Structure 1
Amino acid sequence: MKIALIMVLLAGVVGHAAAADRAMTPQQQRMTSCNQQATSQTLKGDERKAYMSNCLKNSQSAPGEKSLTPQQQKMKACNAEAGKQTLTGEARKTFMSNCLKRQVR
């Protein structure tokens, strides 16, 4: 009887170790990460559902923040630079045109 119990426990430990060795898919990693973040923020109910939905859709950005395309990122950077230089009117228009034509390196 003791031998059977030991064999069952050993089989469970070996099975668990084999499952732990398998790599998680990117979707599983994203789900785990979003779930941990939602738990750390103590979100519940509809608020948690909305958070998880946003988090899973926008895996490259912070939850609730829309992912930007490379062109949108470029536009955002050029616009910020034009704002720092306090450009207005035709000067801003020319700067934005030249900035957006530059290659990103």
Structure 2
Amino acid sequence: MKTIAGALVLALPMLFQTAFAATEQQNKMATCNKEAEGKKGDERKAFMKECLSSKPKVSEAQKAQQDKMKSCNADAKGKTGDERKKFMSECLKKG
């Protein structure tokens, strides 16, 4: 009985990860299908291949925030704990 319970405990996280990954892929497929409306044959096939293999696009605002985070993170080198937290907070607030 303990063996079965142990196996279930170990298997559950994997099942949830698989279900989540499938949902993401299904959402991506639905989005690509909508964008491919009107395309047929080889054109549709090429579009779907590109669409499904591409990574999500990052907006300019997201890129700017990522760059800011990298810069602040580099400047915070050597700081730890509350000192680092405070520094990062102030750095990220700067315009």
TM bucket by the smaller chain?
0.3 to 0.5
Larger Rg: 1
Q: Taking CA–CA contacts closer than 8 Å with sequence separation of 6 or more, which of the two structures ends up with the larger relative contact order?
A: 2
- When normalised by structure 2's length, the TM-score is 0.38
The structure with more helix, counted as a fraction of residues: 2
- When normalised by structure 1's length, the TM-score is 0.34
